[in-house]
Structure 1
């Protein structure tokens, strides 16, 4: 399928550089299989769902995975995107042409990384020596890895450490936030519970590959970066029971959706999963695990634009995005949200 089928023009002023405050005051576009689109705010969500629906959240926690350092006179930037083991991370490297295997990079605050191996996609494995956990080193020397479309317009600051983290964040490992869940607050969660909406969590450590542009002209030629995730047996049992009882499973965010679909078989049963997934969902895919999706608005020609088009139909999503742009919705990680119910 041609990648340019998922292109659209987005005015720069529609790109959000800060989140809505309070978080649940962001706008919410409701998109059904047919009929008019309806405009709401996230706080309206309890009235848009049914008692018995299950929202599935990703409890990954974003680590400050953006590092700036020196190798001799050369400035080297590194964005960690996938853990290899306790002391090694795979990283996208800026100014990588100045790096050789065995080089040491000084990232400041007493943190160094060794360039161990270059990969075919241009990324590097970096080894962090020492006794302290790598996460401790990152808290000292790293910055929150804001998406390029935000970081290119303003510097990362201390406020982003709170803003770019969901209320569900519990397990270190993501280098990008599961942004659909940024809109939730304790007050909204209480209102959802009062409405009979249930919640579950899983873990998918989002990688920086989520921001990489699709450079291929055809979707068949695009290689997804793998991300690690897990969902346990008890959670699977509850989700399967909910669907068997006629209730809907609605993923909060494309990361939750991708792990649920990775864990489900052709029989539509969700099974325990732990490991890497590189699932790539494009139109024509048959969904096995989810009945809806809450998600922010995505980049043109991105794998996530393809995913939502697979769920709702390309023409329906292009029309929804045209409505959102014309109505002044805010796009991308800090932007507004949509509720997609096929």
Structure 2
């Protein structure tokens, strides 16, 4: 399938550089089947779902995975992408042509790493030196890895350390936020509980590959980066029971959706899961585990635009995005939301 089928023009002023406050006051475009689009706010969510439905959140926590430093006299930047083991991470390197295998990279706070191996996707394995846990080193030397469409417009600041973290974040390891869940507040959760909407959490450590553009002309030629995910046995059991009782599984974010679909059998049964996944969902995909998706508005020609088009149909999603642009919804990580029910 041609990648340019998922392209659209977005006015730059609609790219959100800060989230709205309070979080659940963000706007939400609702698309259900072929019904007309409805404009709501996120705090309307309890009334848009039915008792017995289940919202599935990603509990990953974003780590300060953006590093600035030097290789000799050359300035370099590193964005950690995926953990390999306790001391080694794959990283995308800015000015990577100045880095060779075996070089020592020096970051702030006395943090150093050895460039070990260059991979086919352009990333490099970094082995952090010393005895301190890498998490401690990152807290000292790293900054929040804001997406390029935000970081290119303004510097990271203290607000981002809370703004770019969901209220469900407990499992360290993501280098990008599961942004659909940024809209949730304790007040909204209380309203969902009162309505009888169930909640479950799973884990997918989002990698920096989520920001990379699709460079291929055809979707068949694009290689997804792998990310580590987990669904525990008790969560899988409760999700299957809820669906058997007539409840719908609503993924909060594409990261939750991809984890659920990676763990599902052909009959839709969700299995316990703890593995890497590089699932790439494009139109024609047969969804097995989810009945709907809450998600932000995505980049043109991105794998996530392809995913929502697979769920709702490409023409339907292009019409939804045209509606959102005309109505001046705010786009991307700090932007507004959508609720998609096929």
Aligned to 1:199: 199
In terms of mean alpha carbon deviation, does 198-207 or 126-135 score higher?
126-135
Are positions 1:38 and 2:41 aligned together? no
Aligned to 1:320: 320
Secondary structure at 2:301 match in 1: coil
Instruction: Give per-residue Cα distances to partners, 1:181-231, cap 9 Å, x unaligned.
Output: 000000100000000000000000000000000000000000000000000
Aligned to 2:3: 3
Secondary structure at 1:144 match in 2: coil
Looking at structure 1, the residues matched to 75 and 297 of structure 2 have their Cα atoms a distance apart, in angstroms, of 34
Are positions 1:255 and 2:248 aligned together? no
Aligned to 2:283: 283
Looking at structure 2, the residues matched to 120 and 197 of structure 1 have their Cα atoms a distance apart, in angstroms, of 44
Looking at structure 1, the residues matched to 268 and 52 of structure 2 have their Cα atoms a distance apart, in angstroms, of 19
Secondary structure at 2:335 match in 1: coil
Root-mean-square deviation over aligned CA pairs:
0.5
Secondary structure at 2:8 match in 1: coil
Structure 1 position 35, deviation (Å): 1.7
Looking at structure 2, the residues matched to 132 and 101 of structure 1 have their Cα atoms a distance apart, in angstroms, of 23
Looking at structure 2, the residues matched to 113 and 181 of structure 1 have their Cα atoms a distance apart, in angstroms, of 33
Aligned to 2:75: 75
Structure 1 position 250, deviation (Å): 0.2
Aligned to 1:107: 107
Looking at structure 2, the residues matched to 30 and 120 of structure 1 have their Cα atoms a distance apart, in angstroms, of 40
Structure 1, unaligned stretches of length 5 or more? none
Are positions 1:298 and 2:298 aligned together? yes
Aligned to 1:273: 273
Structure 1 position 129, deviation (Å): 1.3
Structure 1 position 55, deviation (Å): 0.0
Secondary structure at 2:200 match in 1: strand
State the 4+ residue runs in structure 1 displaced beyond 2 angstroms: none
Structure 1 position 132, deviation (Å): 1.1
Looking at structure 2, the residues matched to 261 and 96 of structure 1 have their Cα atoms a distance apart, in angstroms, of 35
Aligned pairs, number: 342
Looking at structure 2, the residues matched to 53 and 132 of structure 1 have their Cα atoms a distance apart, in angstroms, of 44
Aligned to 1:226: 226
Structure 2, unaligned stretches of length 5 or more? none
Aligned to 1:155: 155
Looking at structure 2, the residues matched to 191 and 131 of structure 1 have their Cα atoms a distance apart, in angstroms, of 46
Secondary structure at 1:109 match in 2: helix
Looking at structure 2, the residues matched to 63 and 118 of structure 1 have their Cα atoms a distance apart, in angstroms, of 23
Aligned to 2:13: 13
Aligned to 2:62: 62
Looking at structure 2, the residues matched to 298 and 60 of structure 1 have their Cα atoms a distance apart, in angstroms, of 20
Aligned to 2:52: 52
Structure 1 position 17, deviation (Å): 0.2
Instruction: Give per-residue Cα distances to partners, 1:243-264, cap 9 Å, x unaligned.
Output: 1111100000000000000000
Instruction: Give per-residue Cα distances to partners, 1:146-169, cap 9 Å, x unaligned.
Output: 000000000111110010000000
Aligned to 2:95: 95
Looking at structure 2, the residues matched to 104 and 138 of structure 1 have their Cα atoms a distance apart, in angstroms, of 17
Looking at structure 2, the residues matched to 188 and 113 of structure 1 have their Cα atoms a distance apart, in angstroms, of 43
Aligned to 2:169: 169
Structure 1 position 131, deviation (Å): 1.3
Secondary structure at 1:158 match in 2: coil
Secondary structure at 2:199 match in 1: strand
